Structure 1
């Protein structure tokens, strides 16, 4: 007789509903298409009461984090403002489950939770691309990858959006065969099932409709040197073209100068850190390559219409 696997989902307040649905529906369809109870799923929240998703939908749960629930897999589901909802009760529950041999994973922004619990040091992890900057700043010992999911680590992770569907289909395929996983994908009208190695965001070439290796290389160099910005002439020299040629490439493909694009990269990182982390404004300024907090605040307001402090206060 086929064993029924139990998946336990820890739902964190403000969890994102799409990834949650994408994780559960393949399990339901596996039962439906096979005609067997291959999976069951249970839900838990901090206090065992209802939990609200970021879209306002309220879910009734079966357990609290304090309850010891036997499961084959435990997934943490989170979303917005994850760092605000990481409680001692949650961390203690995860450490307890780990000590009992639970196979633990995280979806969307839940890599934050696993990293706070100390599970991901020295490991590769997937987290929604919007959180990459703040995550790498806070957890330098974790190797953040752009993959849609990571299934070959002790603690498996999936980024946001529809990536949990890819991960769950992968797990179903491993246990019950790729044929069933493909049938489920067909039922979901999900023709673009992705392997773990697929990246979350389209490449620079795809996003800008270009195929210029010099421009791609220059942008890559900028992204690698946010905290210590490089001069445009240095970047052009490393790419192997003149500064004037680099300026023409940015103007042609991105309709801006190299310096303007570089500044936007740095300011976007600063905004991500202000929104997604508890770093001080001074720490954010340094991480974005500004030596003066006053200068950073002036430039930030000019770009986003609010000061860094006002940006942070909007979240409280």
Structure 2
């Protein structure tokens, strides 16, 4: 792709400065490393002059929401208290851009903005973990996932922070190839780039819903038994609830099942071991509770779209 792509960022008041930097810097570095102008970018805000992020920094912008230039990609970028800033001018701007055929996505809590606009019905979406419970309650028609980003829907979404960098590197690879994406990641000294299937990881105490003692205990047991997985039935028996109750807890708070959560946890650990250690594929498989290296390879490829053997040396 040789044509310069223009990325427009609509900065919603109290937006995340971390997500903002992780969105723009990979584009800048892609230009620097390639020696060509592959991307340019601009910023908009409601008042058309400035936008204030959650840490109090003020960013100068190029236009208001009523004067968005022609662009190949538009992102709504918000942060804390986004519900207070989903204004009529913002929603109107997004709907106008959709009518123009602009590709529209969202960063950090921006999925909330797109959901308010009615863009995400029936789609998968990612949002910062802090808003998972309220988002699922407010927008049950959206298939919220725990992934760091979603790139294969009409509207791309990233969960914020460094997940935004993951999405941008994914787009750079899509547009200009794997080698450039690796070079950009190297310039960022970013060696743990995640693909879309990677989950958001936070402490059990911090994640919404983890105050539920049964759920917290169940997840801790899964962590303790990664190398020798135990069944949901045994977990439920140990913590004193029924298997059905356990299924409901995982569905309510994590939008998944105990079996799937355990498998994803084991695969994520396997991925980290493959990237960070020299352990053989067989040893990694055994340490993550897989009896057969062949079965492990099939499950791993289905999850990450790459075999364990080929995982080494890739950034995703």
Please report the TM-score for the alignment, with normalisation by the length of structure 1.
0.68
- Per-residue deviation at 1:69? 1.0
Aligned pair in 2 of structure 1 residues 21, 91: CA closer, same or farther (>3 Å)? same
Distance 1:93 1:81 in 2: 20
- Per-residue deviation at 1:4? 0.9
What is the aligned partner in structure 2 of residue 138 from structure 1? Answer: 138
- Per-residue deviation at 1:23? 0.7
* Residues 1:235 and 2:242 are matched in the alignment: yes
What is the aligned partner in structure 1 of residue 170 from structure 2? Answer: 170
Distance 2:220 2:36 in 1: 45
Task: Give matches, 1:47-196, under 5 Å.
Answer: 47-196=47-196
- Per-residue deviation at 1:124? 0.2
User: Does the 8 Å contact 1:205/1:216 carry over to 2?
Assistant: no
- Per-residue deviation at 1:237? 8.6
Query: Structure 2: which 5+ runs fail to align?
Result: 205-218, 254-316
What is the aligned partner in structure 2 of residue 243 from structure 1? Answer: none
- Per-residue deviation at 1:68? 3.6
Aligned pair in 2 of structure 1 residues 53, 206: CA closer, same or farther (>3 Å)? farther
User: Does the 8 Å contact 1:31/1:37 carry over to 2?
Assistant: yes
Aligned pair in 2 of structure 1 residues 237, 78: CA closer, same or farther (>3 Å)? closer
Deviations 1:207-259 (A, max 9, x none): 9555475597788x7xxxxxxxxxx74426978xxxxxxxxxxxxxxxxxxxx
Distance 1:64 1:135 in 2: 27
Distance 2:10 2:234 in 1: 42
Aligned pair in 2 of structure 1 residues 206, 113: CA closer, same or farther (>3 Å)? farther
Aligned pair in 2 of structure 1 residues 29, 216: CA closer, same or farther (>3 Å)? farther
Structure with bigger gyration radius:
1
Aligned pair in 2 of structure 1 residues 217, 54: CA closer, same or farther (>3 Å)? farther
Deviations 1:103-134 (A, max 9, x none): 00000000000000000000000001111000
Aligned pair in 2 of structure 1 residues 88, 193: CA closer, same or farther (>3 Å)? same
User: Does the 8 Å contact 1:218/1:235 carry over to 2?
Assistant: no
Query: Structure 1: which 5+ runs fail to align?
Result: 222-231, 240-261, 267-316
Aligned pair in 2 of structure 1 residues 141, 192: CA closer, same or farther (>3 Å)? same
User: Structure 1: which 4+ aligned runs deviate by more than 3 Å?
Assistant: 202-219, 236-239
What is the aligned partner in structure 2 of residue 285 from structure 1? Answer: none
Aligned pair in 2 of structure 1 residues 102, 208: CA closer, same or farther (>3 Å)? same
Q: What is the Cα-based RMSD across aligned positions, in Å?
A: 2.6
Please report the TM-score for the alignment, with normalisation by the length of structure 2.
0.68
Distance 1:83 1:45 in 2: 16
Distance 2:119 2:183 in 1: 34
What is the aligned partner in structure 2 of residue 29 from structure 1? Answer: 29
Distance 1:207 1:114 in 2: 34
